[in-house]
Amino acid sequence: MYTKALTQLDKTDSIYKQVVILALISLLATSLIFGITYLLDPSTIANLNASENFEAAPWVVGIFISPPIETFLFQTLLLLAVKRLTEMNGQSDNWFPAFLATSIIFATAHGITESSFYLGFTNTINRIPLSIALALLAISHRTKENGMPFVAVAFTHGLYNLMIFVVVIGMNLVQLNL
């Protein structure tokens, strides 16, 4: 699955297509996971509102400031550090350990800041599609001759956060009308 997804991503030459498609797929997968979580525990909406709000300042940070910082930490430093360790073990063409480590640590880092285990776990699970998409995008661009991994990943992450912002505002507006 990993190899097939990476091959499909490499076939797409347009960075804009990659960014939009990965952000939308991540959002759809996150929505599916959130829907399943809601079916298992309908109080998820209340817990989400306790965790997320639609004040402007946190979202400006989440859309414009955090994505480049997180891209540098996770999809650049961590990805390349694990790749270097893999190369030291004699597997120069193997990106899978770097993909796996980056995906798991990125998703977990987003859940660890929550106030309860339940919110942390839910937030981590909801970030898995995005973490997989960003790791695949970073690897795809790192293996291309003229790839732009930092720009592609940071922009995809920011676009995803913007879409989540729109969804959260919509959910809050729906709740206000209920």
Q: Looking at per-residue confidence, does 59 or 112 come out higher?
A: 112
Phi, psi of 43 (to 5 degrees): -75, 0
Structure tokens at 128: 């898995």
Q: Which residue has the higher pLDDT, 29 or 56?
A: 29
* Cβ neighbour number for residue 168 with a 10 Å cutoff: 17
**CA of residue 53 relative to chain centroid, distance:** 19
Tens digit of each residue's pLDDT (9 = 90 or more) over 25-44: 998 888 888 778 777 776 66
What average pLDDT does the chain have?
86
- Alpha-carbon span 40 to 5, nearest angstrom: 30
Cα 136 from Cα 42, distance rounded (Å):
32
Residue 51 in this model has a pLDDT that exceeds 60: no
pLDDT of 125-155, one tens digit each?
A: 989 999 999 999 999 999 998 899 999 999 9
Q: What is the pLDDT of residue 66?
A: 92
- Taking the C-alpha atoms of 9, 168, 121 and 44 in order, what is their torsion angle to the nearest 10 degrees? -130
The average pLDDT across 85-99 equals 94
Position 171 pLDDT exceeds 90: no
Q: What is the share, in percent, of the chain residues with pLDDT greater than 90? A: 46
The structure's pTM equals 0.85
Which pair of structure tokens corresponds to residue 17? Answer: 């297509």
Q: How far apart are CA 174 and CA 3, in angstroms?
A: 41
The number of residues making up the chain comes to: 178
Q: Which of 172 and 101 is assigned the larger pLDDT?
A: 101
Q: Where do the structural domains in the chain lie, given as residue ranges?
A: 15-177
